[in-house]
Amino acid sequence: MEISYYIVRMPLKNPFTTSFGTDIYRESIIFRLSENGITAYSECVSDHDPFYSYEDNTTAMHIISEYLIKSVKNLPEPEEFLKSVSYIKGHNMAKAALEMLLYDYHARLNKKSLADYLGQNRGYAIPGISIGIDKIDKMLERIDEAVKMGYNRIKVKIKKGLENEILKSIRDVYPDISLSADANSDYTFNDIELLKSLDRYNLVYIEQPLCYDDLIYHSKLSREISTPICLDESITSSRRAEKAFEIGACSVINIKPGRVSGLTESIKIARIAMENNGHAWVGGMLETGIGRAYNMALAANNLIDYPGDTSPNARYYSEDLVKNPFTMDNGIISIDLKRPGTGIDVDSNALKKYTIDSGKFEI
């Protein structure tokens, strides 16, 4: 068995600004597994900076090479792999990279699409779009393009001090679109009056308004505002999801497989949301077409009932790492269920072009 890694640096078509800062490129780690005539790929969604999470590419590579990679040796089923590495606290993005690599391998081995391998597959994903902070006219221009393209939900990034300007400007032009706002933890409970002022914009939800690891104050906030709360960074496992619903901290969850250690926990979280009369959707981390394929397979699951951040990658990158990127038609993205695993064809020339470091693991 051979497992290789490629650290790639992908330039973004447009700068992407959140309350964390502005990205002009995406640096990801791609993994390739070859065994039994099968080649599988996955992507680690950590970044070069520890802003979204304490994990970054350096910590991920350290944890994978020193602790996780040995547990892939016998090609266990993904859930078995997670159980075998449960003694390692946290580092979900590192775990997810290998868990999903095993998902692609086993789905291909069983000659099933990844969406079918996960079960409860409806065959398509319903995409929304995420728009970064920019000058108002630029944001409105991108929203206009998205509406014309048929996106089912528009999400905009906001930050403290700009939220009302952004949302009022959008609602003045688009009073009826399905609109949500992502705060990326930029507020505190002391900002409750400011957050109450956002109720007037009829948002589907406000995403992660308070601290990245908080449940308690989100629960208190949910009783003070009428806008539903969606949690992102605060939900790192199915156990956290159960607690969030138990105390009323949210009614919606943004599931990012990398944040929760992979697809096994993602499915559990989506089921918890459904059982609690809540909602779930699939988020994104500006993945290349390799990582995006996993998001699409999850987003096609019947447990996912809200549009996600699953735009076709042509929106973010002029050139992708796959030859067959996803495309949207009439507001949906169809999954090719005839192709095994993730169904992607990796473009070896593009992978080589954007790789800034690579190597192999000794197993």
Nearest-CA neighbor of 186 among 61, 31, 19, 55?
19
Residues 142 and 287 in one domain: yes
Residues 122 and 104 in one domain: no
How are beta strands 124-125 and 129-131 bridged, if at all? unpaired
Residues 49 and 132 in one domain: no
Tell me the sheet residues that pair with 129: 154
The answer to the question of residue 258 being in a domain is yes
| Tokens coding 93 | 């993005």
The count of domains in the chain is 2
Read off the CATH number of the domain in which 218 is found: 3.20.20.120
Q: What is the structure's pLDDT at 15?
A: 84
- Catalytic site positions: 157, 256
Residues 6+ apart with CB under 8 A from 175: none
Residues 43 and 77 in one domain: yes
Residues 126 and 108 in one domain: no
Q: What is the 3-state secondary structure (H, E, C) of 148-160?
A: HHCCCCEEEECCC
- Boundaries of domain holding 62: 2-112+344-361
Share of the chain above pLDDT 90, in %: 93
| Tokens coding 59 | 């910590």
The answer to the question of residue 137 being in a domain is yes
Residues 139 and 254 in one domain: yes
Residues 80 and 161 in one domain: no
Identity of the residue numbered 351:
L
Q: What is the structure's pLDDT at 209?
A: 98
Q: What is the structure's pLDDT at 227?
A: 98
Sign of the CA dihedral 45, 51, 53, 57?
Answer: positive
Angstrom distance (rounded) from CA 271 to CA 278: 10
pLDDT tens column, 54-81: 999 999 999 999 999 999 999 999 999 9
Residues 76 and 189 in one domain: no
| pTM of the complete model | 0.95
How are beta strands 38-44 and 252-255 bridged, if at all? unpaired
Read off the CATH number of the domain in which 12 is found: 3.30.390.10
Residues 103 and 9 in one domain: yes
Block mean pLDDT (10 aa), the chain, length 363: 96 84 91 96 95 95 97 97 97 98 98 96 94 95 94 95 97 97 96 97 98 97 98 98 98 98 98 98 95 97 95 89 93 93 96 97 85
H-only helix segments in 155-237: 163-173, 192-196, 216-222
The answer to the question of residue 245 being in a domain is yes
Using an 8 Å Cβ cutoff, are 317 and 8 in contact? no
| Tokens coding 249 | 């901290």
The answer to the question of residue 339 being in a domain is no
Dihedral (Cα; 294, 78, 27, 90), 10-degree rounding: 120
- H or E element at residue 253: strand 252-255
Identity of the residue numbered 326:
F
Residues 86 and 149 in one domain: no
Residues 133 and 280 in one domain: yes
The 10 Å Cβ neighbour count of residue 197 is 15
DSSP 176: S
Q: What is the structure's pLDDT at 315?
A: 83
Residues 165 and 270 in one domain: yes
